[in-house]
Structure 1
Amino acid sequence: MPQLATSNLTYQAMGRSIINGIDWSLEKQEIVTITGPSGSGKSTFVRLLASLLEPTSGTITFDDQDIETLDPIAYRRRVSYAVQQPTLFGKTVRENLAFPYQLRKKPFDEQHAVKALQTVDLGASDLDREITSLSGGEKQRVALLRNVMFVPEVLIMDEVTTGLDSDSKGSVHKMIDYFNDRHQLSVIMITHDEEELKHAHNLYRLADGKLVEVDQHE
């Protein structure tokens, strides 16, 4: 049984069809990359998967359940959506990583936070760093970690590595590999970066509203 799947998924906006009858599935612990030209509907597709948009027609199922029947807050904790330009708040890294604990009314697990920071080449000394002292790449890494402090089942990454230097991109992929291996995290990544395509288990191209699997050995 697929972990996440779409059946005849269609989305229209302002009289234009953006997603055209997509049938697709994601297996547990799979890492998928979606590429395609700008404006082709990649972000729309993953926002549909994240339940941030409602499809015009068709269905999205998670563990064989239509996501429209699931509690939206509970679903978004299981399927987490990360954006290209995240918003960090408060003064420090600690405050950001503690936020998911506050939402769940649980005590902050500093040991887990430090271990998570180490997966992106940061560490205990960075917990109390002020947000204003972080580079753009460090801010993106902290934002991603905030999404996985309570590890979701699926992480959707909407062009989160765009504009990052090679070291920061490497740190992001190190984090993905860690949580994919240790916590069976499934990942859906949108990217235009040719170098990043090799990290995917499976590669898809979205164009003209259709999602097509790409042979990575061609």
Structure 2
Amino acid sequence: MICAGVILAGGQARRMGGGDKGRLPLGTGSLLQEVIARLSPQVDLLALNANGDPARFADLDLPVIADSVVDFPGPLAGVLAGLDWAAAQGADAIITAAADTPFFPRDLADTLRMAVADMPVPLAIACSRDNKGRLWRQPTFGLWPVALREDLRAALSDGLRKVVLWTDRHNARYVEFDGAEVPFFNVNTPQDLAEAQKRAAGSA
């Protein structure tokens, strides 16, 4: 299976005052640079899903792919954009990661691939447990087959926006990731950014 990586950065970051959340500082770089560093060794090729002027990401030396569905319909639009790009590259599937979640597992892609090895049309979404033991699905972290891109395009055209409604329709596997710390901690607020910076400093 040829897997392309797609970093989802197409959101509007309203709770952070707008702009490109992935450019916020983390360690000696940014959230986005940490996500790139974690995902690129796990996949065969890598692209960034972002809307607006792609020139602002020129320093990253990555293909920048925009949503093909208007009005910011959510992460599924980024998944579709990634699937269309991956199909043109000859890939079989994409692994997605969110640009605001810098500490995701370094074995994300391998674990997802192994979990769906027996599925004719592999589709998997990552999950994790919080400190109270509750299981949370992480719909921006998954393995998505190129074979389902036209089905996803039709679903978005019909108004579907919620990720799990579409993944459940296709019998997605939900794959749990363990960790001493929350593996899918994401930055939504200034307080989250301060916590991420502390966490990054602690692992330096």
Structure number with the higher strand fraction is 1
Higher relative contact order (CA 8 A, sep 6+): 1
Structure with higher Rg: it is: 1
Same fold (TM over 0.5): no
Q: TM-score, normalised by structure 1?
A: 0.26
Q: TM-score, normalised by structure 2?
A: 0.28
